[in-house]
Structure 1
Amino acid sequence: MTTLYKVHELDTPLQDYQMQKLNQMLVFVTQYNEFYKEKLSGFSLPVRTQADLARLPLTTKQELVHDQKMHPPLGKNHSYPVKNYIRYHQTSGTSGRPLKILDTYESWSWWEKCWKEVYRSSGVTSSDHVFLAFSFGPFIGFWGAFEAAKQIGALVITAGSQTSKERLTSMIENDATVLLGTPSYVLHLIETAAEMGVDLKDTAVSKIITAGEPGASVPSIRRQIETAWGATLYDHVGMTEMGAYGYSCSAQNGIHVNESEFIAEIINPETLEPAAPGEKGELVLTNLGRYGYPLIRYRTGDVVLNVTESCECGNPFTFLPGGIIGRADDMVVIRGINIYPSSIESIVREYDEIKEFRIVYFTIEDMDQIKVQIESSDENVSKKLAVCLRERVGLRIDTEIVPENHLPRFSMKAKRVLDERTEKVIQ
């Protein structure tokens, strides 16, 4: 059955709607965007089908970084003169040199529109008090969430410079009903509440939306957060360079791509062909409303599972069960086994006795090794975790208990991998 998307009171097949929006953008960028004018030279328009789309070249972050290096400071992928832009952001730089990205008024309004869909899917309304537990710097973070919350009429409470204890106090005093943060930070607030003698179930927080790293779609992490907070946890995914492209739903078992604003593909990262049903692949996205900073067939580096089934919630848009499974650039091979840090975390989070953890890669006699450091007062949990990792990952992974508060805590994207290998192998 053809999926229909409601557009201006006309029922339009989703693919037709997407191709119409895509061709409008392609006509624009081939005239006004120097980066894509060069990249798409020789390709004929219009693009009518998925097969036509697949013939367009992929875009990589490495290209964008190189473009800004060769044409500083902004590169050629900004379609307008600088005077037309109103917002500046940059990527976090966790995987290399940060990208500098500007948005026009129209493009920033598009960001707000995408974030409204995140709120809608999570049941956030004008009656809510939305608490943003994030530092308001150049990283995109929850800037779009801030703007969209204003648009829907919710009370917005910011906490950029506050300590964790100050943030919890502010949440309680202002009857915050919705909390936004990274999964790592929301977990850290559980520790902070315990130190303060606060029962988080007694707060007004009933919904939590996390982003920035895998977590809310991982059952063990979701259970840990929802149990401690007595709130419903929702997932959200977005990228500074791409936009706020995905959200979870009432089923809470994965991510829906907002296909009214993005075209999604899942490819085999080695062959660059479409991933087979049931296989993991790399998510490729095209944004359809960000003319100030367009991205066409962008390799996100996010590893997802390619399925043909729709979500049980009834949303017909592309469904990614388990959300973002990992990052392609995070994967390492240890003794022939592909290791994703997010897979390790999903197992670690099954043990409530573990307060914090870190993955360490190291080398012994020219052989790469891995161990997991944990903070816990339960000495037996180390042995139990080691057994579980061996059974589930298929590799012996040493576990080590470290002193309390020995490992770092994070308010933004967590960095729980320490690479001490003497010769790092580029995957």
Structure 2
Amino acid sequence: MTAELKRPYTNDVWDPVETWSRDRIEEFQLGALKKQLARVEAKSAYYQKTFKQAGFSAADFKSFEDLRRLPLTRKADYVAGLQEDPPFGTMRAVELSEAVRVHFSSGTTGCPSPVLWSKRDIERWADLYARYLYAQGLRAGDVFQCMFNYSWFVGGLGATLAAQHIGALVIPGGSVDTKRQIETINEYGTKCVIGTPSFMAHVAEAAEEMGVDLAASTVSMVCVGGEPGASIPGTRERLERMWGAKMFDCYGALECQPIGWDTALQLGPQIAEDFIYVEILDPDTLEPVEDGQRGVLVLTHLDKEACPLVRWWTGDVVVRDRKPTPDGRTHATLKGGVLGRADDMLIVRGVNLFPSAVEDIVRAFPGTTNEYVLVIDDSVKDPKSGFLTGVKLRVERTDDAPEDLGEKLSYRLRERLQVRFVVEVLPAGSLPRTVHKAKRVITE
């Protein structure tokens, strides 16, 4: 588990930790949690306060059950910490002189949220990604074409570091210039491509229009992340047919990179249990659920330095399986990947979109009332893949609203949230009112 370039030790795995027994994994996690909780209590202003309010001391931590004495950490807590101590927030646990990288969210909770990395965090990140890409089949000397966005987005640099770590030849293509991406695959013999499912579908469709048969190309691995789809059988079957290659689910989030990726067996993302401790909780009772039952994924970093998280509520609904897989790997698998969300978050072309971010803009925009609703229908979906290409937004106009309200609001939303909006402007009083929790996302 060092950051130095290495080769598999036995049984064709990147790191011996991948085949540890369940007892050894849990023993390691318990020891790592003791150290990590002591560290965040000492260095993170947010967790110092949180621990104190919960009557919890890291010195008292003896078992996994003790962790449940602490409250969940949610995105709203992270954002509040940024506002309390700008620009990097109260959760950070390093001095700024110790941070070497910052990545940002898309700003879909109102403003871009920065997440810091230390030098060791970056090295750990690269090694974990390399472990997963190796498990999927990437080897030294292979050509790896990265089609993740490099602008602000966290995925591009992470994937690039990982492939370099293995010794692959990296082509940093980004998510632009589709024709050149296709030509590059054929000219340079790309073995592995990585990007969002929607961009992979777009590239495959563009190749068909160009008369290029990607199924006859050198690509044998299509790695995807950033949005749902890779673990959905219909999506996987369609993209594998178009590319003539195996598709792998690469699951992570800005705040926790990585969470888990498919191996060559394609049984679902396998969690990096030496990097994160996982709880699966009932979304209503917040009690743990048994393996095989649906629940929300909650994560605690075991060794993250710059921005460590304790009991981070991902909002993602998953099913855990802790049985070893046939290839000898022993870390838990998320069967079927992410099965849904426990909140109203949408994912549009790899961008996480929260209704609250839309609300912040709409309610501050001249000419609109307080009411709005986000509509998901076929007009904002790719007709072939079903992926969201945008969001339809219905708002109400006030009497003094400008004639081009919809156009101006659409531009502002795209500028702030990096998502395409189709704005429908309605007369005041057209949208339903409620005295209870408003339903802001509807499907038609």
TM-score class normalised by the smaller sequence: 0.7 to 0.9
State how far apart, in whole Å, the 2-side matches of 1:256 and 1:180 are: 18
State how far apart, in whole Å, the 1-side matches of 2:282 and 2:383 are: 39
Which residue of 1 is the match for residue 166 of structure 2? 152
State how far apart, in whole Å, the 2-side matches of 1:17 and 1:248 are: 23
Determine helix, strand or coil for the equivalent of 2:266: coil
Query: Structure 1 residues 32, 61: CA separation in 2 closer, same or farther (over 3 Å shift)?
Result: same
Determine helix, strand or coil for the equivalent of 1:135: coil
Percent of aligned positions that are identical: 33
Which residue of 2 is the match for residue 297 of structure 1? 311
**Which amino acid in 2 is paired with 1:25?**
Q
State how far apart, in whole Å, the 1-side matches of 2:250 and 2:19 are: 28
Q: Structure 2 unaligned segments of length 5 or more: list them.
A: 1-14, 350-372, 387-416, 425-429, 433-437
Which residue of 2 is the match for residue 273 of structure 1? 287
Determine helix, strand or coil for the equivalent of 1:13: helix
Query: Structure 1 residues 368, 167: CA separation in 2 closer, same or farther (over 3 Å shift)?
Result: closer
Query: Structure 1 residues 138, 279: CA separation in 2 closer, same or farther (over 3 Å shift)?
Result: same
Question: Which residue of 4, 12, 16 corresponds with 2:27?
Answer: 16
Contact 1:132 1:156 in 2 (8 A): yes
Q: How big is the shift at 1:307?
A: 4.7
Determine helix, strand or coil for the equivalent of 1:222: helix
**Which amino acid in 1 is paired with 2:431?**
T
Q: Aligned Cα RMSD in Å?
A: 3.3
Contact 1:206 1:230 in 2 (8 A): yes
Which residue of 1 is the match for residue 139 of structure 2? 125
Q: Which moved more, 1:83-92 or 1:156-165?
A: 156-165
Cα distance per residue 1:112-146 (max 9 Å; x no partner)? 12211211220111121110012211221221111
Contact 2:19 2:329 in 1 (8 A): no
Q: How big is the shift at 1:225?
A: 0.8
Q: TM-score, normalised to structure 1's length?
A: 0.76
Contact 2:47 2:91 in 1 (8 A): yes
Matches within 5 A, 1:259-338: 259-307=273-321, 311-330=325-344
Q: Which moved more, 1:255-264 or 1:278-287?
A: 278-287
State how far apart, in whole Å, the 2-side matches of 1:6 and 1:163 are: 40
**Which amino acid in 1 is paired with 2:26?**
Q
Q: Which moved more, 1:281-290 or 1:306-315?
A: 306-315
Matches within 5 A, 1:185-204: 185-204=199-218
Contact 2:279 2:298 in 1 (8 A): yes
Which residue of 1 is the match for residue 402 of structure 2? none
Determine helix, strand or coil for the equivalent of 2:72: coil
Matched, 1:26 2:37: yes
Provide the aligned length of Structure 1 versus Structure 2: 359
Query: Structure 1 residues 190, 95: CA separation in 2 closer, same or farther (over 3 Å shift)?
Result: farther
State how far apart, in whole Å, the 2-side matches of 1:325 and 1:255 are: 12
Determine helix, strand or coil for the equivalent of 2:126: helix
Which residue of 2 is the match for residue 422 of structure 1? 431
Which residue of 2 is the match for residue 406 of structure 1? none
Q: How big is the shift at 1:279?
A: 3.1
Determine helix, strand or coil for the equivalent of 1:40: helix
Which residue of 2 is the match for residue 86 of structure 1? 100
State how far apart, in whole Å, the 2-side matches of 1:212 and 1:130 are: 18
Determine helix, strand or coil for the equivalent of 1:24: helix
Q: TM-score, normalised to structure 2's length?
A: 0.73
State how far apart, in whole Å, the 2-side matches of 1:177 and 1:10 are: 30
Q: How big is the shift at 1:16?
A: 1.2
Determine helix, strand or coil for the equivalent of 1:425: coil
**Which amino acid in 1 is paired with 2:27?**
D
Matches within 5 A, 1:89-100: 89-100=103-114
Which residue of 1 is the match for residue 263 of structure 2? 249
Matched, 1:102 2:113: no
State how far apart, in whole Å, the 2-side matches of 1:26 and 1:82 are: 20
